[in-house]
Amino acid sequence: MLRVLIAATALNIMLVAPLWWRFEHLGMPLVALEVWMLAPALALIPARGWRRLLAALVVLWVGLVSAAHLGNAATHAAFGRALNLYLDVPLVRSIYHLLSGNVGKLAGTLIMALGALSLVGMLLLIYALLSPKRALSLERVSGKAAAALAVLALVLCELHYQGLRVVERGALPLIDTTRFQIEQVRATHQARLAFEAELEQRPLEAQALPGLAGRNVLLTFIESYGVSALIDPRYAKLIRATLDEMDSRLEARGISVVSGLLEAPIRGGQSWLAHASVLSGRWIDNQLWYRLMLESPHASLVDDFHATGQRSLTVMPGITLAWPEGLAYGFQEIRTARNLPYQGPALNWVTMPDQFTLDYVARRQLDRGPLFAQITLISSHAPWTPILPVLENWAMIGDGSIYGPWENAADPPEVLWQDLERIRDHYGWSVNYSVASVAGFAERALDETGLLIVMGDHQAAPLITGENASAAVPVHVFSRDPALLDAFRKRGFVDGALPALDDTERAPRMSELRHWLQEDFGNGAASKNAKTANGAAQ
């Protein structure tokens, strides 16, 4: 009987401990009622072969549910949402790359391997406990006790399932998690079929944007720049001051700016889904939708600008491996960490500082005819160390060698990440660095006709923003041609670098931006403007 109690306790801990992490409540729930039924029931099965087979199935079930609990806790911590097995299994690779980028490939591999081996080792130990050579006999006290425990646990499980909580800290994690994931798989599969049908039946065709013809249009994403950076007191004072300075400085140089909010499809990570939502004009909030969209003949904003006469460029300093997605979008020139001319050090996960990336675009890409460029900035990506200064003299940046002294100038991630308040401070400082870099870029990159659109890709993780934070991100649009910004004012954008923050929950979706550009600068808008002008002349 002692063996049964040890096995049940081990199963119980495996199932409930990840839930303590997820809900940040130690000891709630405390009892996984199902295992107190399954463990003694297995011990009473007389046929050893059946007992071992069923024990293996139970251990496998518990292992999968425990892994789902861990994945759910990690997904919530990183992205502020629940785990969806139908969609999220491919993210394991991304987790490895993020981990190895922060602590090194060897350490990242060891951490993931040790985690997997620990889980497997625990399950093998429990299997051994659940499959002894001899079953418990009902003729002995131990057998009767096991039977009584199994029956009592069965009754408690049924009562709990019906909504009557006899055990206050009891739960049915095996049943609840299995049912939840099965329901998610069914619902997601149906949603997938609907999305595939929409892609086939309602394709978004390429549309020229004559209102932006002959102009440089630069679409720039700032990593983890969410609306919390402007409303959370921990970050707002610093970043709002930088926005105020940006306003004054750019106005003095003849650059106008309007700002607004858009809702991002994700939180905490998976920036490529935000990029895809903007470029495609569809709401892409998961990896499967992303893949289906790229595999379809669906046109994107890149195609719109090709039809307008711009050449296309994407600058992705965070991409260190092959990136076929760039070709799927149709970008004519793709610059990643591999072929950007950076000779400075990598700064933990960040392959190169934002100011270098922006300086590269300003110096190397803007004098070769009208350009549409997607630029992603990554200095505000975790682990947010080291924090760099913005170099006032951009001519000093060169090939990036100047950043050498910062390679080991700050605490490494494993030190910084022991203190939550320091993590939050560093997040604010890193976003402020990226925003300040953009201000200097606007001065250098915008000619008399250019348009610069800068937006956050998503909110940071809940440990930075808190629970239930808005999904909105700031959007700033810059130009030396004030009339070019009228279209954005009509969409609710306000003058200045600080967007209206009174209704962050009702921000339009990020996927609307492509439709706005088509409506406001496309052929329809050009015809409407021509009619208006003719009417005024008459």
Both tokens of 257, joined, read 């700016």
Average pLDDT, the chain: 85
Cα torsion 334, 398, 239, 453: sign: negative
Band of residue 372 on the pLDDT scale cut at 50, 70, 90:
very high
- pLDDT, residue 100, reads 60
Name the band, by pLDDT with cuts 50, 70 and 90, for residue 85. Answer: confident
Structure tokens belonging to residue 406:
């910062």
CA gap 287, 196 in Å, rounded: 14
Nearest CA to 72 out of 128, 20, 25 is that of 20
Query: Which pLDDT score is estimated for 99?
Result: 57
Give the separation between CA 232 and CA 224, rounded to whole angstroms: 14
pLDDT given for residue 468 in this prediction: 84
Most confident stretch, 90-99, 233-242, 323-332: 233-242
**How large a percentage of the chain has pLDDT more than 70?**
91
Q: Which residue has the higher pLDDT, 275 or 166?
A: 275
Distance, in Å, from the CA atom of 153 to the CA atom of 35, rounded to the nearest integer, reads: 8
Higher pLDDT, 344 or 187: 344
- Residue 27 neighbours by CB distance under 10 Å: 9
* Residue 527, pLDDT above cutoff 80: no
Q: pLDDT digits over 176-219, tens only?
A: 888 888 887 887 788 778 877 777 777 788 899 999 999 999 99
pLDDT bracket for residue 117 (50, 70, 90): confident
3-class state of residue 251 by DSSP: helix
pLDDT at 533: 40
So what's the pLDDT on residue 134? 79
Does the structure show a pLDDT above 60 at 101? no
pLDDT of residue 531: 46
Please give the Cα distance from 506 to 146 (Å, whole number). Answer: 56
pLDDT above 90: residue 18: no
pLDDT for 98 equals 56
Q: What is the pLDDT of residue 537?
A: 41
Residue 453 has pLDDT above 80, yes or no: yes
Whole-number Å distance between alpha carbons of 374 and 524 = 25
Cα separation, 528 vs 27, in Å, equals 65
Average the pLDDT over each of 47-51, 89-93, 273-277, 325-329 and give the range with the smallest value: 89-93
Report the pLDDT value the prediction gives residue 321, as an integer from 0 to 100. 80
138-151 per-position pLDDT tens digit: 777 777 788 888 88
Per the DSSP assignment, residues forming a β-bridge with 218 are: 373, 452
DSSP string, 178-228: HHHHHHHHHHHHHHHHHHHHHHHHS-------GGGTTS-EEEEEETT--TH
pLDDT confidence of residue 154: 86
> In angstroms, rounded to a whole number, what is the distance separating the alpha carbons of residues 166 and 210?
69
pLDDT confidence band for 152 (50 / 70 / 90): confident
Give the pLDDT mean for 284-302.
Answer: 84
The one-letter code for the residue type at 360 is Y
Most confident of 174-188, 216-230, 415-429: 216-230
> Which among 56-70, 80-94, 104-118, 369-383 has the top mean pLDDT?
369-383
Q: Name the percent of the chain lying above pLDDT 90.
A: 45
Does 374 have pLDDT greater than 80?
yes
Among 20-29, 48-57, 230-239, 345-354, which stretch is predicted with the lowest mean pLDDT?
Answer: 20-29
Is 294 in contact with 275 (CB distance < 8 Å)? Answer: no
User: Which amino acid is present at 526?
Assistant: A
Report the pLDDT averaged over residues 269-276. Answer: 91
What is the tens place of the pLDDT at every residue in 121-130?
A: 888 888 877 7
DSSP 8-state secondary structure symbol assigned to residue 359: H
Look-up: residue for tokens 């399950």? 123
Residue 535 has pLDDT above 50, yes or no: no
Task: Flag whether the pTM goes above 0.85.
Answer: no
pLDDT at 529: 52
